[in-house]
Every structure is written in structure tokens, then in C-alpha cells.
Structure 1
Amino acid sequence: MDASPSRSRARRLLLPLTAGACAIALAGGCSGPGSSRADAPVQQGAVARATDDLESRYQAVIRDVLPSVVQIGAEDGLGSGIVYDNKGHIVTNAHVVGSAKTFDVTVATGEKGLKASLVSSYPEQDLAVIRLDNVPDGLKAATFGDADKVEVGQIVLAMGSPLGLSSSVTQGIVSALGRTVSESRAGGGTGATLADMVQTSAAINPGNSGGALVNLDSEVIGIPTLAATDPQLGGSAAPGIGFAIPVSMVRTVADQIIKSGKVTDSGRAALNITGRTVVDDDYQPAGVAVVSLEKGGAAEKAGLRAGDIITAIDDTPITTITSLSEALAGDKPGEQVTVTYSRSDSKRKAEATLGEI
């Protein structure tokens, strides 16, 4: 899948340097009081031990988590999923399941083509839950981490079935937090606008969707979902820029689907309208026309009518349906926003208390 990154509320990790600080170097260290060329073998040995320790941690994480990552065969192709509990529930992306109701699932316990059925799909957040028809012995549920402990710079591993290569692992770091991205509808995408995404440099390729983004404590911190594309490269994937749905949203949606068979509380804000993008005299996107309003919804209560053209939310210009979704992605139901709109060529403003998707 591809994405168009928009506004970001990412945190940055700043690493302070102190006067006289010195990094260990393979080519002979650094000079200073009490150091000499004789220190080089000691420093090289320390680096080698650190490398061995990191490699061992990678291998331990892979042994811990990979048995919980499955390959999902659906009508439109292959994707990945994560074993959510010992009852056979598997969480994945909505665009992986598509319109299918039944699936072939390959698990790490060795069985081929286990059958699974859809519990529910929630395209608005590109998440879905399926369930194995028969739960095999030894099925291992993944451990899910704490989104509040995810930091920029953390080493992460992405596990899944890129290009159908099951049980594949790539490595990178958390590059940024709080990204808002919009999926394309091309290639079976949901077209959803997704907030608070984890940006990672770990390679995300077709087939990785629905798999696991994992920290070095063997905890799932997100579901790899899409990769950025670069228009200057003809729409090809931009290397090292992938996005994962954060674990907090994964757990919120999956728990509701497992308990109720559907999402009962999305936690996502909306104006409760159906709209379409309009263009100006130069055929450039110029706003969102209100086609219809949900009775008792946020926009109707704020006084908007069908035919009004929304041009801004607070200080954020609105030119397309996508930009409207992105403007609301970071807000919560019940928050108040200022809606700027035009009616009969006159510019107006309204205070709206946001509803829920």
C-alpha cells in the first residue's frame, strides 16, 4: 500500500553531547588524556562483544515472536497476521481480508492451509479480526507492548510475508511518531486516513501488511500497514519509509471486535457528513461540498446545510475529502472546532462539537 504523509506530531529524541565526549572507533579510538593507540584492541573487542550481544537479542526476539506471525491467503492475494489470543483470533489489516469471508492461514506450528473465518473488518482504521476454525495445539499468542513506551530511535523488527516469502524479518528503527497518512484506494486499499502512525525504516513490502512491528523486548508495538510512495519515482515505494498502526489502536479495535463482533466505539472524530471535493474555475481542488448530513450529527447541530462548501477546520485549509479527514484525524469526539464554509458566495464560520465515525 502507499501513503501520503501529512501533518506530524512526532516526538524527537535528542542525544546530548558533552565536552570531551568520545565515541569508540574501530580505526584506533580517539586521543585525549589517558588514552593511547594501545587502547585500540580493547575498544575493538568491546565493539565486537556489543555486536554479538545485539545479534543475540535479534535472534531471541525472532524465536519469541515469529511463531505468532501467520500468513493469510485471501481472494485477492497474500498478507500477514498476528495471533491475538489462544482462542484462534488473528488480527490483521482490513485491506488484507478485503471482501473475503474465509481464508487459508499458515501458522508456525507446521499445519498447512488452516481454515479461518472473518469475525469483522473495520476499514475506517484498516484493521480486521479473523478466527481459525480449528485451533491447533501449540498456537502461540503474541505479546503486545505499551504504545506510551515507544520512542524514536528504538530498534524494531518487521515480521511477515513480503511478496509471499513467509516468516521474513527486516530490521530498522522507529523513525517518527504521530504521523497522519492516507491510504490510496488503488490495489485494494481502504482509502482510510490513519492517525498516530508509527513511522519506521524497517522495510515494508507487499505482503508485510498485517504482520508485526516488534521491539527488542519481543513485544508487538504496531502492525505494518503501508509504505510511502515517491511521485518523482513514478509512484514507486520510497525506501525506508513505512508506517505501522500503533498497538494502542490495534488493541482497542481488536478487543471490541472480539467482544461485540464489531467496533462499538471508534474514538475517531467526525463532522457526520457525506461530502465531495469541489474545484475552482482553474479546476483546482477548492473545498468539500456537503452532500448530506447525518440527522443530529455534528455538522447539522452547528447549522451547516447540504450545498455548503467547507474550506477550513480551525486554521487548517480544506481542499479535498482527504484533507478534511486528515484535519480531523488527530481530534477526538466531543472536541470543538471552528468550521469555515461558504454558502451562496458568502463566507461563514460555525463552532462544531465533533461527533464520532
Structure 2
Amino acid sequence: MDASRFRSRAGSRVLLPLTGAVCAAALVSGCAGSGSSGASDTTTQAAAPAAANSLQEDYQKVIKDVLPSVVQIQASSDLGSGVVYDDHGHIVTNAHVVGDEKTFKVTAANSTDELTAKLVYTYPEQDLAVIKLEKVPDGLKAATFGDSSKVEVGQITLAMGSPLGLSSSVTQGIVSATGRTVSEGRAGGGTGATIANMVQTSAAINPGNSGGALVNLNGEVIGIPTLAATDPDLGDSAAPGIGFAIPASMVTTVADQVIKDGKVTDSGRAALGITGRTVVDDGYRASGVGVVSVTDGGGADEAGIEAGDVITRFGGTDVTTMQGLSEALAAEKPGDKVRVTYTRDGDEKSAEVTLGEM
């Protein structure tokens, strides 16, 4: 995906065709001379508001249970959201929310008091960070994180955070897709990370939602809202209903390591062992990844890839840009063996590379 298409803003709107709705209503009510009994009509009409009330009660219960675990984070020049991770005052958020800051002002959903938090660790490679409150207030509640493997398309989701500075805001949508690999641009403070297995949602995500909570109707956080699509055909304005959240499994993997060890000790992310840049052909079209340097003892080094080589294929994927190579790598695991095709002095070569860890 084009990194320039993803920023922290989006909207959500649904329009339904009226003709189909009118016909369906007529058939249910029996108003077209169907001969339905009055008792049947009454039962059908009563069931609809009962179901609506039940769903509304589910929404309200989830909001009541989870919103106290979602906080507003204020850096010196940026504002975002965070999720209370444990009873010790650890809060997870996005790396692009904390930026280069070390100290933050935090406001809980059930209070107007500003609390002070310090950075524990930031992990831009996955756009995640952990901060910790200096003093844990009474009543601060840790969120419950769900199982990412159980997230399914069509599940109802609620996005909670502080969009545009409006603290404790909630928007609603569904899980639109799972397993998305998305590259985050660096414009507007992004980290440039390529993130795999993201949850796509139609719940509105706007500036300030980053680092907040994407929640299912069981009251579990299933992701951290991080990116939203923009439409270049509309001058990079918001593309409605296309937002992305880092899956809960990755959030807990990173947060647990940071809290225990003060850093990420096992990223679970594959590395080729090079630094590279996108190169262009004579027509100024992106044509591959030029190897700038090779990590001693890394996968590429062991396979004989050298500085100056141009990588054109990774496994079964043609590679024309550094972003494309990053997205292909995001689908692999450390220790996987991948066939890499490259050119050297005009000759095409290939090598099997055992991937290392980022």
C-alpha cells in the first residue's frame, strides 16, 4: 500500500437504498393485502424495538466498562490517546503519539485532574510505546485485551479515544477486514513502520484517536487505532470508514516485554539484514531495492548478498521499492528461508536467505 495514503484521520458514513427498505417493510407488515393477522403484526413490530434496545444496552454496558480505561495523552505539541494496561499505571499507546518526548500529561476519562507520566520505552518499528504514571489514582481500571485470533469480519467495534481533543469520545463500526499489512508514512509525525496483521475497521478514526482502544461487544480491546486512509483523488482528505488498528496480540507481546525488561527483547519480526533504498531505471520508474550496506553475520551476508546489489524479488513477490520489501518481510518470521533475486553488475542472481530478527 502507498504510505502516503495512510494518516490518522477518517470518517464513517453508511447510506442504504430506500426502495429495498420500503418493500421489505411492506412485506413484513402485511399492508399489501397479505391477510396477515393483527396479532402477528403486533409481535413483529414489538420484536424490532426490543432487539434495538438490547443492542443499545450492549453498547452502553461496553462503554461504561471500558471507557474508564482509555486516557488522553498530551505531549508538548501533540495529543493522542492511551489504554491503561495494568494496575501499576502502565499505559500503552502509539509511538507516534509520544514522539521524542519523555514526560506527558495524562487525563483519565473519569477525572479532570492532570496526571504525570514518564516514557518507559518506545518501539517505532511497530508504532507502539509504553508510558507509566508517576502516581496511580484510586479507581484507575486496567482494560481487558482480547484474543486477536478470534477477531472476525463483521464483528461490531467501538473506537474510544480523544479525536480532535474531544476526550472520552466513542464511534461505532464493524471489523471490515483482518490481516492487513499497512505502511505508515512519516508525514505528520508517523514512524514509517510497516505493520502486519492489522485490523481494518469502519469505526471513525480521527487525529487524537491514535493510541486509544478498538473494542468488541465483549468489552475486550481487540486493537489500538493507529492509521486511517486518505484519498489522494480528493486532495488527501479522509477516505470514509477505512481505519486500521494494531492487533491486541502484538500490543500485549510488546507491552509485556517492555514492562518486564524495559525494552523489546523478541520482536517476532523478520529481518533481511540490510539497509537499502529504492532505485529507479532509465525511465525514472522504481525498479528495485539497492543494497546500501549488509549487516555482518545477518541473513543477507550469509547468503552472499553484497552492497551495490539490487534486490528485485523476495520469495514470490516482485520488489520495486523499499516499502514493498518491508511489506513482504512483514509476512515472514525469523528463521524462515526465502529465495531472494537480485542483480549484480547487470547479471541476475538468486540466493536462499535465512531471515534474522529485527
**SS of the counterpart of 1:327?**
helix
In the TM superposition, structure 1's runs of 4+ consecutive aligned residues that sit over 6 Å from their partners are: none
**SS of the counterpart of 2:66?**
helix
**SS of the counterpart of 1:333?**
coil
Cα offset, 1:28, TM superposition: 4.2
Tell whether the 8 Å contact from 1:89 to 1:129 is kept in structure 2 after alignment.
Answer: yes
Equivalence for 2:323: 322
Distance in 2 between residues matched to 1:148 and 1:293, nearest whole Å? 35
User: Equivalent pairs: percent with the same residue?
Assistant: 69
Cα offset, 1:26, TM superposition: 4.0
Distance in 2 between residues matched to 1:258 and 1:309, nearest whole Å? 40
Cα offset, 1:27, TM superposition: 3.7
Q: Which has the higher helix share?
A: 2
Distance 1:30 1:342, change over 3 A: farther
Tell whether the 8 Å contact from 1:25 to 1:43 is kept in structure 2 after alignment.
Answer: no
Q: CA RMSD for the aligned pairs?
A: 1.8
Deviation digits for residues 20-43 of structure 1 (CA, Å, limit 9, x no counterpart): xxxx95444187xx9826333321
Equivalence for 1:96: 97
Equivalence for 2:275: 274
Distance in 2 between residues matched to 1:215 and 1:180, nearest whole Å? 21
Equivalence for 2:36: 36
Equivalent position amino acid for 2:224 in 1: I
Distance in 1 between residues matched to 2:26 and 2:248, nearest whole Å? 41
Deviation digits for residues 267-324 of structure 1 (CA, Å, limit 9, x no counterpart): 0011011101110001111111111111100100111000000001012111111000
Equivalence for 1:9: none
Equivalence for 1:347: 348
Equivalence for 1:237: 238
Equivalent position amino acid for 2:252 in 1: R
Tell whether the 8 Å contact from 2:5 to 2:230 is kept in structure 1 after alignment.
Answer: no
Distance in 2 between residues matched to 1:108 and 1:158, nearest whole Å? 14
Distance 1:5 1:317, change over 3 A: farther
Deviation digits for residues 227-254 of structure 1 (CA, Å, limit 9, x no counterpart): 0111111111210000000000000000
Distance in 2 between residues matched to 1:334 and 1:248, nearest whole Å? 20
Distance in 1 between residues matched to 2:218 and 2:44, nearest whole Å? 27
Distance 1:170 1:207, change over 3 A: same
Distance in 1 between residues matched to 2:89 and 2:35, nearest whole Å? 59
Tell whether the 8 Å contact from 2:5 to 2:236 is kept in structure 1 after alignment.
Answer: no
Deviation digits for residues 256-275 of structure 1 (CA, Å, limit 9, x no counterpart): 01111110000001101110
Distance 1:37 1:186, change over 3 A: farther
**SS of the counterpart of 1:163?**
helix
List alignment gaps of at least 5 residues for structure 1: 7-23
Equivalent position amino acid for 1:338 in 2: R
**SS of the counterpart of 1:191?**
coil
Equivalence for 2:75: 74
Distance in 1 between residues matched to 2:203 and 2:237, nearest whole Å? 17
Aligned residues: 337
Distance in 1 between residues matched to 2:37 and 2:283, nearest whole Å? 69
Deviates more, 1:163-172 or 1:108-117: 108-117
Deviation digits for residues 130-182 of structure 1 (CA, Å, limit 9, x no counterpart): 00011111110001111111110000100000000000000000000000000
Cα offset, 1:56, TM superposition: 0.4
Cα offset, 1:108, TM superposition: 2.5
Tell whether the 8 Å contact from 1:342 to 1:348 is kept in structure 2 after alignment.
Answer: yes
Tell whether the 8 Å contact from 2:80 to 2:211 is kept in structure 1 after alignment.
Answer: yes
Equivalent position amino acid for 2:351 in 1: A
Give the structure-1-normalised TM-score: 0.91
Distance in 1 between residues matched to 2:320 and 2:41, nearest whole Å? 60
Equivalent position amino acid for 1:342 in 2: T
Distance 1:3 1:215, change over 3 A: farther
Tell whether the 8 Å contact from 1:3 to 1:226 is kept in structure 2 after alignment.
Answer: no
Distance in 1 between residues matched to 2:353 and 2:136, nearest whole Å? 48
Distance in 2 between residues matched to 1:108 and 1:240, nearest whole Å? 25
